[in-house]
Amino acid sequence: MQYTLRNVPDAIDALLRRRAREEGKSLNEVAVEALKRGLGLAGELMKNRSLDDVAGKWQRDRATDEVLADQRRIDPDLWR
C-alpha cells in the first residue's frame, strides 16, 4: 500500500530524517516503523510515563468534592 502524507509538522519531519540518517535507513522505513510503534503493532510494549511527578495524585478532599458537586448541578431553567 502506498500513502501520501501532507502537512507533516517540521519537527516530525526533522526527527524522522535525523533518525533515518543515524540508523542508515530510508525515510520511508523510519516513518513506517514510527507508525507501527505508535499504533502498538511493533511487537514492543510502549511504556506510558506517569505524570505524578508533575501533576501529583488526586487526594479526596471534602470541601473540594462539595464545590465540584455544586458545579455539576444542572439548573433546569437554563436548559429549556
With 0.85 as the threshold, say if the pTM is over it: no
Q: Counting Cβ atoms within 10 Å, is residue 34 exposed (0-12), middle (13-18) or buried (19+)? A: middle
pLDDT in tens, 15-74: 999 999 999 999 999 999 999 988 888 776 667 777 777 877 778 899 999 999 999 998
